[in-house]
Chain A
């Protein structure tokens, strides 16, 4: 995706941050060109007890919302990592304009014995692979956000 000037400042994690990301992605023709993406993806940051659900539908990100842990675990799959890992991934995306090979969703998943992408269902988890390019595009688009991170321990 093309680099854009950061115009939105938002804290990660927050609904405002995911909303900003949704708006950026939905404004990108390149996202539509990847093709249909139909899945629900949970976001789980256990050490902050923060949970979100992102709904991808047809050629757009249809919805983002703050959720409960149960709702996240009812998604097709969810991405789970401690806050420090999320921060590292997003900082890497910001620095490079997109994730380098050590910080893509696939790499983070393959390096985690439990998987970064998790699901209670062997069929629904495969949505992580089926739509991987769209999902990576979604997070890479966060390079256009001026992300503020929480000071851990405070």
Chain B
């Protein structure tokens, strides 16, 4: 269609005349598919005929399949920002001016952010060129026109296509408060008829940790299977006394894992869908605990001993009864997990076979991921709610006090550990076991306090429950 044949709407022609804007340029813009309203807006905004001529000529060249020469400074900035080679040309073809491309680069837009803007413009162009039938079909299929961000493209990196890599554009905006009580995943369009699901955690500070998505990937990538990963056939029995002591340690670890698994299950349903990184990571934590229950139960049975005596579980009750997720997380992933790593260290140190060593090494890998979440969450929480610092101390105080009570009143586990570390029931062996248990407990307290310091609570060292202070100095020599 020749440009002369294009009819300029009367109101647009009037605006052009009032602003001394050549009608020939208006016709050329219409021929390119630009909407009359968009042309009118540009004229009212004060675009000069010269600027319009430059932009329209550029668009005509692009539509004719030619490339536009990109100024060297823009090309250099695009390379520096690692934009794909054709993105500048795509942006121009989508109707962005060279000045707008320059502004995007100067604003520091990454290639994925810039590409999303380009995609939005490309879609707008497509809509302008729709036939009436196409437009009607689009309007009938309303679900295809939700106001979510479409056109987002993510690329696999060295680790594959990870959960964290999906947090681009509007999907990367993780709000401080999640306003929906429904099952709506973050980034979807809200359905007004959806029922409330009764979650209780809607505030980011109450559960967030910046490493949650990475820990989820790490957890599923590094998972292991107790049935086949452990060389069960090659694990010869220990002397009977030590085998019983090991079974007692395994019994404790089974019990602890079951309690923690219950706790995770209880809290998962409280977390709203706005923070799915934490929810899915916690799902893997629940699986870690199931695996620990499984592997330690198998080890207790392996050489004909079976389960030992139940622990009273006083301090685990504190974790189970916690009323706030941050309280739960701090007690479970910093206090309790530090203790579990300490027990696994004793298990590893006393392992007589590669199979035993492997069980404890793999369990420690899982547990150390949990401390990473616990530390980062507490740090995030305290940065946003510094007024809650004393509250956290009170939680720790209660857990430490009940641990002390349990450790003092029920000597089942400490005695089993002494037998394991000493290598038997003789007087000298028990003496050695006692000394080594104290050595490992000093390491435990050191690491526990270092983790709290990393979370932003270095002062806990001075406020440790008195019973635990007996192990707080620097560890003595192990052998």
Question: Which A positions have Cβ atoms within 8 angstroms of B?
Answer: 34-36, 38, 57-60, 101, 104, 106-107, 110-115, 121-127, 129-133, 136
Asked whether, in the complex, the Cβ of B447 is within 8 Å of the Cβ of A122, the reply is yes
Q: Kindly supply a per-residue 1/0 record for chain B positions 292-308, scoring 1 wherever the CB is within 8 Å of any chain A CB and 0 otherwise.
A: 00000000000000000
Q: In the complex the two chains form, is A130's CB within 8 Å of B474's CB? A: no
CB–CB B372/A126 < 8 A: yes
B369 and A130 contacting across the interface, CB-CB below 8 Å: yes
A130-B368 in contact (CB<8A): yes
Residue of B nearest to A60 (CB): B158
Q: A131, B454: Cβ atoms under 8 Å?
A: no
Let me know if A129 and B478 touch, CB within 8 A: no
Stretch of B68-76, B98-106, B358-366 that contacts chain A: B358-366
A111-B479 in contact given A129-B368, A131-B365 (Cβ < 8 Å): yes
Q: Which residues of B have CB within 8 Å of A35?
A: 218, 221-223
B454 in contact with A107 (CB, 8 Å): no
Binary interface encoding of chain B residues 411-454 relative to chain A, with 1 for a CB under 8 A from any of its CBs, else 0: 00000000000000000000000000001100100010111111
Pair B351/A133 contact, Cβ less than 8 Å: no
- CB of B107 within 8 Å of the partner chain: no
B222's partner among A36, A57, A113, A126 (CB-CB below 8 A) is A36
B349 contacts the other chain (CB 8 A): yes
| Structural contact, A58 and B159, CB atoms closer than 8 A | yes
| Central interface residue in A34, A115, A126, by most chain B CB within 10 Å | A126
- Which residues on the A side are within 8 Å of B447 (C-beta)? 122, 125
Is A133 in contact with B158, judged by CB distance below 8 angstroms? no
Interface size on B (CB < 8 Å)?
Answer: 46
A109 and chain B: residue at smallest CB distance: B345
Q: Does B354 contact A (CB under 8 A)?
A: yes
- Interface of chain B, helix or strand or loop or mixed? helix
Residues of B within 8 A of A104 (CB): 357
Check if A129 sits within 8 Å of B454, measured CB to CB.
no
Q: Mark B447-475, 1 if CB is under 8 A from A, else 0.
A: 10111111100000000000000000011
- B150-191: contact bitstring with A at CB < 8 Å (1 yes, 0 no)? 000000011100000000000000000000000000000000
Please tell me if B1 contacts chain A, counting CB pairs below 8 Å.
no
CB distance from A44 to the nearest CB of B (A): 19
- Verify A129–B453 contact, CB threshold 8 A: no
> Given A34-B222, A130-B365, A130-B372 in contact, is the A110-B477 Cβ separation under 8 Å?
no
Q: Report which residue of A38, A110, A122 has the largest number of chain B beta carbons within 10 angstroms of its beta carbon.
A: A122
Interface presence of B58 (CB below 8 A): no
A36-B218, A122-B447 known; A110+B349 contact, CB < 8 A: yes
- Contact indicator per residue, chain B 199-230, by CB within 8 Å of chain A (1) or not (0): 00000000000000010011001110000000
Closest to A36 in B: B221
Instruction: Find out whether the CB atom of B218 lies under 8 angstroms from the CB atom of A121.
Output: no
Q: Which of A104, A111, A121, A130 has the most CB of B within 10 A?
A: A130
Pair B349/A122 contact, Cβ less than 8 Å: no
Quick check: A123 and B375 within 8 Å, CB to CB?
yes
A34–B221 alpha-carbon span in the complex (Å): 8
CB distance from B433 to the nearest CB of A (A): 15
Question: Taking the complex as formed, is B52 at the interface, i.e. its CB lies under 8 A from any CB of chain A?
Answer: no
Which residues from 351 to 395 on chain B have a C-beta closer than 8 Å to any C-beta of chain A?
351-354, 357, 361-362, 364-365, 367-369, 371-372, 375-376
Q: Contact between A126 and B368 (Cβ–Cβ < 8 Å)? A: yes
Interface flag for B341 (CB, 8 Å)? yes
Query: Which residue in B348, B369, B449, B474 is a CB contact (below 8 Å) of A113?
Result: B474
CA A115 to CA B443, docked complex, whole Å = 9
B361 touches A133 (CB 8 A): yes
Please determine whether A123 and B451 come into contact, CB atoms closer than 8 angstroms.
Answer: yes
Contact indicator A132/B361 (Cβ below 8 Å): yes
Residue in contact with B367 in the complex, picked from A34, A106, A129, CB distance below 8 Å:
A129
B41 at interface, CB cutoff 8 A: no
In the complex, what residue of chain B is closest to A106 when comparing beta carbons? B348
Are A122 and B452 interface neighbours, CB within 8 A?
yes
Q: Is B476 an interface residue (CB 8 A)?
A: yes
Of B159, B348, B369, the residue contacting A110 (CB under 8 A) is: B348
Q: B89: shortest Cβ distance to chain A, in Å?
A: 32
Contact A123 B372 (CB under 8 A): yes
**Residues of B close to A36: CB separation below 8 A:** 159, 217-218, 221-222
Q: Is the CB of B158 within 8 A of A126?
A: no
Contact B479 A130 (CB under 8 A): no
- Considering the complex, give the chain A residue whose CB is closest to the CB of B334: A122
Q: Which 4 interchain pairs have the tightest Cβ spacing?
A: A122-B450, A35-B222, A35-B221, A129-B368
In the assembled complex, how far is the CB of residue B455 from the closest CB belonging to chain A, in whole angstroms?
Answer: 8
Interface contact A57-B474, CB-CB below 8 Å = no
Q: With a CB–CB cut-off of 8 A, which chain A residues contact B376?
A: 123
* A121:B454 contact, CB within 8 angstroms: yes
Instruction: Report the minimal beta-carbon distance from A114 to chain B, rounded to whole angstroms.
Output: 8
Contact B451 A122 (CB under 8 A): yes
The interface residues of chain A lying within 8 Å CB-to-CB of B214 are 38
Q: Nearest residue in A to B366 (C-beta to C-beta)?
A: A130
Give 16 A-B pairs besides A34-B222, A125-B447 with Cβ atoms closer than 8 angstroms.
A35-B222, A35-B223, A36-B222, A57-B158, A104-B357, A106-B348, A106-B357, A111-B479, A113-B475, A122-B452, A122-B454, A129-B341, A130-B218, A130-B369, A131-B365, A133-B365
Q: Could you show 9 A-B contacts with beta carbons less than 8 Å apart?
A: A36-B159, A58-B159, A101-B352, A110-B440, A113-B475, A122-B452, A125-B450, A126-B371, A126-B451
Q: What is the bound-complex CA distance between A114 and B221, given in angstroms?
A: 31
The reply to whether A101 and B354 form a contact with Cβ atoms under 8 Å apart is: yes
Complex CA–CA separation, A154 to B443 (angstroms): 37
Chain A residues with CB below 8 A from B223, complex form = 35
Select B478's contact among A113, A123, A133, beta carbons within 8 Å. Answer: A113
- Which residues of chain B have C-beta atoms less than 8 A from A57's C-beta? 158
Within 8 A of A (CB), among B304-346: 341, 345
